[in-house]
């Protein structure tokens, strides 16, 4: 697995973390790169945005698909949400 270079989050510069792809997702890769930095502006802005636009207390983290290179939001409902699926 050492041949995979760890990408950095374009929003905060933190190294992204391998996160196990849920079995019922449409992503084909076995894992996703996710920025789990709680200081990430993308994540911080998400709370305001979700409250204003959807009236829900939630946010999202920056995600990148290692196969397609596609990026998008990964919805979370708390700071610790989804962290149990982090792959070390």
Rounded to whole angstroms, the Cα distance separating 33 from 65 reads 6
- 34: contact with Zn ion by CB under 5 A: no
Binding span for Zn ion by CB under 5 A among 11-19, 24-32, 48-56, 69-77: 11-19
Nearest to 31 by CA among 14, 23, 46, 19: 19
End-to-end CA distance of the chain: 12
The DSSP letter of residue 15 is B
Looking at the Cβ atoms of 17 and 24, the one nearer to Zn ion is 17
Does residue 17 touch Zn ion according to CB under 5 A?
Answer: no
Any contact of residue 9 with Zn ion (CB under 5 A)? yes
Contact residues for Zn ion (CB under 5 A)? 9, 11-12, 35, 37, 40
């Amino acid at each position: 697995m050492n041949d995979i270079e760890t990408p950095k989050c374009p929003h905060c510069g933190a190294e992204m973390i391998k996160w196990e792809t849920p079995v019922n997702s449409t992503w084909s890769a076995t894992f996703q790169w996710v920025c789990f930095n709680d200081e990430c502006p993308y994540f911080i802005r998400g709370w305001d945005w979700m409250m204003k636009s959807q009236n829900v207390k939630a946010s999202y983290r920056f995600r990148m698909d290692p196969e397609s290179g596609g990026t998008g939001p990964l919805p979370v409902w708390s700071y610790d949400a989804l962290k149990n699926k982090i792959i070390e």
